[in-house]
Every structure is written in structure tokens, then in C-alpha cells.
Amino acid sequence: TEPTPESPGNDWSSWPTYDAASRGFRNYWYPIMWAEQIGQKPVPITLLGEKIVLVREGDQIHALHDRCPHRGVPLSLGRRQYEGTISCPYHGWTYRLDTGKMCAALTDGPSSPINGKVGVRTYAVEQRLGLVWIYVGDDDPAPVERDIPAELVENDFVLGGRWDIRPGNWRFAAENGFDEGHAKYLHNTALWRLFKVMPAWNETRIVEKDGWLIRVQDAVHWEAEFPGLGTWTNKRWWKRMPLPDAPGKAADVNPVIQGLDIPGFVSIRMPGLLRVAYPHFIHYEWYVPVDEDTVRYVQIMVRFEKGTKATAFKAKYLGAIRWLFHGQFTAQDAWMVDVMDAPPEKLYRPDLSLTAWRRHIEQVAPTVQQDPTVRVSK
Ligand code: FES
């Protein structure tokens, strides 16, 4: 059939890179899971369609391609028989964890001609924020800090978080996060709303700052028609400006958050990280591509505090926020990401945020992840 403006990955698209990126982008660091979740047992994961096994040795975590080159058995099913190695469960080919090189074919003896001749690909691994980060790329990795928000590198903070694997393509999940309209409608039924006011009808523009696209909601539509429902603007959070509906409420913005001078509530950046800044804490969520149909959803809530305030937050997180915000609220997002079916699509005014994000990706022009099963078999 002839390509149409609605069908993806064709010459007509305004965002061909984005359309082609169903498996995400190479040359970025991705958070995977809590480092403490990786014990003696190898952990298999899929990242950008690549099968990877995570193996702990002491404080170090190693990541190797999870496929024995002999007959294609997952190394994650293997044994930890010798220090610094993992052995394939089928015929005992044994690989060094640090280099991926095969150092012994246990069923062919020390003189086996294939010893040292084959190996599996290894991936760079770092541990930050209590999470394991993996770099999927072709060149020497950039420092992991490049892909972590600067405010989390430069300040003391306490965090709570959770991750899960959800159905749906990562792009739907990322768009959902930055989507202005859903925040105003879908989440009206979220329990979290009982505690946090959400925006209603705002005029929106998108600005770029320090690699982030920021959704700025300056003014309110229809205030006269719906008094009291639409009186939310960014000024309430960041400008210390008492508003008629919340006098004095913005007077005690956390100094770190105030110092960021973010002009808008919600921001997104490559390779798929959302930041939602409140006066006293920031919520981040990473949309990590598992494969074309599944996304790893890593969310953390950060409070820039130390001492007793930090301890109090931790308790509050475990007792309430984890269930209300990181649970029921974002489960609503997961529901929509799972059931939506696009393209084709017809966009409306608040979808400005979606098109800005897609255009941003075209500008950055990242390397699109191709089907790794094809790459591996070449
Ligand atoms: Fe791994 Fe044979 S399949 S050693």
C-alpha cells in the first residue's frame, strides 16, 4: 500500500526517527532494578530487545549477553562454579564475567582448541541511586552521570521508588507521561488527587532548557466559565506568588527545587525520562524499552532532605506514597498505555506536548535500536 501521513516509518512522517524507534535508542544508560535485588542467582533481563544476564560478584555487577554461542542456551540458567565466571548449563562452556571471553570448555578439557576463541558481549554497568544502570551502545560509554538529572548528582536527597514491567511500547508510556490532557482527565479519579491539586485548563507552551523539554502552563482558559477549577499555574509552585486560591502556599518551596528554576511542572528528556516537580519533592519516571511491546517503568520520588526529615519522608513513602502515587495513580497510566491503539491518530491542541517531544527526538537524532536478533545472527 502507498504510504500515508498516518502510517509510521515512511517518507511522509514528520518524525521518522521517532517512528522507527520502537525498541528505543542506543548509546544511553538505562536504569534497570535495585542493585540489592541482584544476589548470587543470575538475573535475566531484556533491554532494547537485547537479552542480558546480570551477575553479582561481591560489590560488582556484571552484564553479559544472555546467550551461549555454542547452541544458544541462556547463560542466566547457568552455574556459578568458578570464581569470576559463569558456566553454561548445557555443555559447560565457561565465560569470564569481566570480559565475556570463554576461558574453558569444561567438557573438552584444558587443551580444547576453542578455549579463548569465542566469547559473549559484555555491557558497561554502574550503580547509582541504588539502581543498576546498563549502557547499550557501540562506543565507549559516556559517564553515567550524563544520563542522570544533575540535581541528583549534586545534592543530598532521600528517595523511595518502585519499578515494574508493563505492557505497551515505551513511546506510548513516555508520551503518556508528558501528555497534558491525560493529567487533566484520566487522573481525576486518582486517589492521589485527594492530596495534590492538579492543573485544569491551561494555556501551554513547551520550552527547552538544559536538555529538558518543559511543559509550561502560564495561564488559565475558561476561568470565568468554571471559577475555581482552573486556577492553577506554575507561579504557584516556583515564584513565591500567593494566588487567590492558595494564599501563601508557595512560600516554602524546597531550596534545591527553587534553585532549579524550572519554569514548568512536567519535563521530559532523552532517552525517555520524565520529571514532575512539586514544591517539596520531585517525581521521576524512566520509560526503559524492554522490547517493542513492553516497557520497564522505573519511578522514584526524591526529597532533598537529610536527617529526621529524610527519615520521615521514607516512612511516608512506604506507608502511603508508594501505594497512592507510584501505585494506583500510575496504574491508570499503565492501563491507557496498554489499551491504546495508534497510529492512526488525530491530535488536538493539548497534544502540543507530544509533537514537541517527537520533534525534539528528530533534532537530537539518536541512534535507533534495530532488531537485535537480526544483528546477533549476522
Ligand atoms: Fe552452551 Fe552448549 S549450549 S555449552
pLDDT digits (tens, 9 = 90+) for 77-113: 999 999 999 999 999 999 999 999 999 899 998 899 9
Among the listed residues 102, 127, 121, 130, the one whose alpha carbon sits nearest the alpha carbon of residue 52: 121
Query: At a CB cut-off of 8 Å and minimum separation 6, what does 142 contact?
Result: 27, 29, 135
* Rounded CA separation 135/52 (Å): 11
Note whether residue 72 is domain-resident.
yes
**Same domain as 189, residue 233:** yes
**Same domain as 196, residue 162:** yes
Q: From residue 166, how far is each of 49, 173, 332, 335, 340 by CA, in Å?
A: 15, 9, 12, 9, 13
Residue 243: band (very low, low, confident or very high) from pLDDT cuts 50, 70, 90 = very low
Note whether residue 377 is domain-resident.
no
Note whether residue 12 is domain-resident.
no
> 42 phi and psi, to 5 degrees?
-60, 145
Regarding predicted confidence, which is higher, 29 or 336? 29
Residue 3 has pLDDT above 70, yes or no: no
C-alpha radius of gyration, the chain, whole number: 23
Residue 220: band (very low, low, confident or very high) from pLDDT cuts 50, 70, 90 = low
pLDDT per residue as tens digits for the range 51-70: 999 999 999 999 999 999 99
| Number of domain units in the chain | 2
The pLDDT score that the predictor gives to residue 31 is: 98
Pocket test for ligand 1, best of 65, 67, 90 (most atoms within 8 A of CB): 90
**Same domain as 205, residue 132:** no
DSSP conformation class of 346: -
Q: Is 88 in the pocket of ligand 1 (CB under 6 A)?
A: yes
The 3-state DSSP class for residue 303 equals: strand
- Atom of ligand 1 at shortest range from CA of 93: 4
Note whether residue 81 is domain-resident.
yes
**Same domain as 292, residue 210:** yes
Residue 30 has pLDDT above 80, yes or no: yes
Q: From residue 334, how far is each of 27, 343, 373 by CA, in Å?
A: 26, 18, 27
Q: Is 90 in the pocket of ligand 1 (CB under 6 A)?
A: yes
The total of other beta-carbon atoms located within 10 Å of residue 12's CB is: 13
Average pLDDT value over all residues in the chain: 85
* Rounded CA separation 275/269 (Å): 9
Predicted TM-score of the model (pTM): 0.87
Locate cell 528528556: which residue?
269
Range in 59-68, 135-144, 218-227 the model is least confident about: 218-227
ipTM of the modeled complex: 0.99
**Same domain as 286, residue 160:** yes
**Same domain as 324, residue 190:** yes
**Same domain as 180, residue 117:** no
The 3-state DSSP class for residue 15 equals: coil
CATH number for the domain spanning 32: value is: 2.102.10.10
Domain of 255 in residue numbering reads as 146-364
Q: Which of 80, 115, 136 is the last residue of a domain?
A: 136
Residue 226: band (very low, low, confident or very high) from pLDDT cuts 50, 70, 90 = very low
Residue 94 parent element (H or E):
strand 93-96
Q: Is 73 in the pocket of ligand 1 (CB under 6 A)?
A: yes
For residue 105, the CA-to-ligand 1 centroid distance in Å is 9
**Same domain as 285, residue 159:** yes
Note whether residue 151 is domain-resident.
yes
Quote the distance between the C-alpha of residue 166 and its chain's center.
12
The pLDDT score that the predictor gives to residue 247 is: 42
Note whether residue 42 is domain-resident.
yes
Q: Which of 83, 118, 136 is the last residue of a domain?
A: 136
**Same domain as 131, residue 157:** no
Residue 198: band (very low, low, confident or very high) from pLDDT cuts 50, 70, 90 = low
Note whether residue 3 is domain-resident.
no
Q: Is 89 in the pocket of ligand 1 (CB under 6 A)?
A: no
Note whether residue 369 is domain-resident.
no
**Same domain as 214, residue 68:** no
Are 269 and 119 spatial neighbours (Cβ–Cβ below 8 Å)? no
Q: What angle do CA 68, 29, 310 make, to 5 degrees?
A: 120
The pLDDT score that the predictor gives to residue 131 is: 98
**Same domain as 318, residue 236:** yes
Residue 230: band (very low, low, confident or very high) from pLDDT cuts 50, 70, 90 = very low
How many secondary structure helices (H) and strands (E) does the chain include? 11, 17
> 158 phi and psi, to 5 degrees?
-120, 145
CATH number for the domain spanning 273: value is: 3.90.380.10
The pLDDT score that the predictor gives to residue 229 is: 46
Q: Is 79 in the pocket of ligand 1 (CB under 6 A)?
A: no
Question: For residue 11, is it left (φ>0), alpha (ψ between -120 and 50) or beta?
Answer: alpha
Residue 49 has pLDDT above 60, yes or no: yes
**Same domain as 337, residue 298:** yes
Q: Is 105 in the pocket of ligand 1 (CB under 6 A)?
A: no
pLDDT per residue as tens digits for the range 114-129: 998 999 999 999 999 9
- In percent, the amount of the chain with pLDDT more than 70 equals 82
Q: Which of 136, 164, 199 is the last residue of a domain?
A: 136
Range in 28-42, 116-130, 200-214 the model is least confident about: 200-214
